[in-house]
Amino acid sequence: MKTWEEMEKVQPLASRIITNSIQKDRISHAYLIQGARGTGKREIAQLLAKGLFCEQKTGIEPCNACNMCKRIDSRNHPDVHWIEPEGQSIKIEQVRRLQKEFTYSGLESDQKVYIIQSAELLTLNAANRILKFLEEPNKKTTAIMLTENSQAIIATIRSRCQVIDLQPLSPTLFYEILVESGVSEGNAVFMRALTNDLNEATRLLSDDWFAEARKLVVQLVEMFAINPDDVYLFIHRHWLAHFKDREQHEQGLDLLLLAFRDVLYFHIGNEAAIVCFQAGDERLERLAMHFSQEQLAIILQQLLQAKRSIKQNVHPTLVMEQLTLQIQR
């Protein structure tokens, strides 16, 4: 989404609020943009920055072709500063470096922009230093803070920002966006069940690791029904060898949730909602004969608990071993 016209289809209210400000030359000195992953926070931040620097705008729309726009897209513009978490937080040292940058004159103009991703991860000390920027705004400085949880940000920062709430993408709209971007209908149905982030969907669909992950998930579900005695060995030889870090383990559990949910949907005759297996796949009938609806409901709860355990830093090997034992009961 590189134009406000495209953004308005996804976030109509937020787009109208910001573009009205651009048209009236009343851009706020600070924005707090709140929304779930994939709702367009980064894209809005980039559009705002381009609106301030683009040399060949057409009305409110950036050209996306000039040197300014290209450097903002590649994060190489010297007067557009991005701050991202280092580890689990955004630290005071990062804000100090930003403050130092802001003591210098703009290299391209007097305008400066700073964009803070995952602003809810600001430490208290870092947040208090950011607050100084907001309490004494420079006329030519624009702060853009992006967050999935504005309530985790200190109230004094929230009160000094124009808060923009982004709405979750509807599955139907996300499906249409995927198909328009060239994704097959089958993959679009699958990806809208897994994520609502277009960039993530595109990345996963072109990732050989993810393609192999999908195969392993289906094999594991089948193995629970057909060769349960071999599941433990499969987990150690194949699953743990493929899903290595915590993010990958979460991804694998998400895929398992979808696969077992497919079996439940087959049970209740909702085959239109099946995403991992193909409609009419004979494997689904075999799996439905092995797992009752009651068992499947319990397994889905166990998978959700496994995801919570991964987030709580329980060792993935222990999580998968426990999950295997639970499903085999």
Statement to judge: residues 41 and 136 lie in one domain: yes
- pLDDT tens sequence across 238-271: 999 999 998 899 999 999 999 999 999 999 999 8
In this prediction, residues 148-162 reach a mean pLDDT of 93
Domain end position, chosen among 138, 165, 192: 165
Statement to judge: residues 240 and 322 lie in one domain: yes
Statement to judge: residues 61 and 155 lie in one domain: yes
Highest mean pLDDT among 61-65, 140-144, 181-185: 61-65
Could you tell me the residue range of the domain that residue 290 belongs to?
207-328
277: left (phi over 0), alpha (psi -120 to 50) or beta: beta
Q: What's the total number of domains in the chain?
A: 2
Average pLDDT, the chain: 91
Domain end position, chosen among 113, 141, 165: 165
- Side-chain-side CA neighbours of residue 167 (13 Å): 14
Q: Are 34 and 150 in contact (CB under 8 A)?
A: yes
Statement to judge: residues 31 and 106 lie in one domain: yes
Statement to judge: residues 104 and 49 lie in one domain: yes
> What is the SS3 assignment for 31?
strand
Statement to judge: residues 113 and 234 lie in one domain: no
How remote is the C-alpha of 83 from its chain's centroid? 17
Residue 41 located in a structural domain:
yes
- Name the strand (E) or helix (H) holding 144: strand 141-147
pLDDT given at position 180: 87
When comparing pLDDT for 100 and 147, which is higher?
Answer: 147
Statement to judge: residues 17 and 77 lie in one domain: yes
Q: Identify the CATH number of the domain in which residue 302 sits.
A: 1.20.272
Q: Are 27 and 42 in contact (CB under 8 A)?
A: no
pLDDT band for position 106 (50/70/90)?
A: low
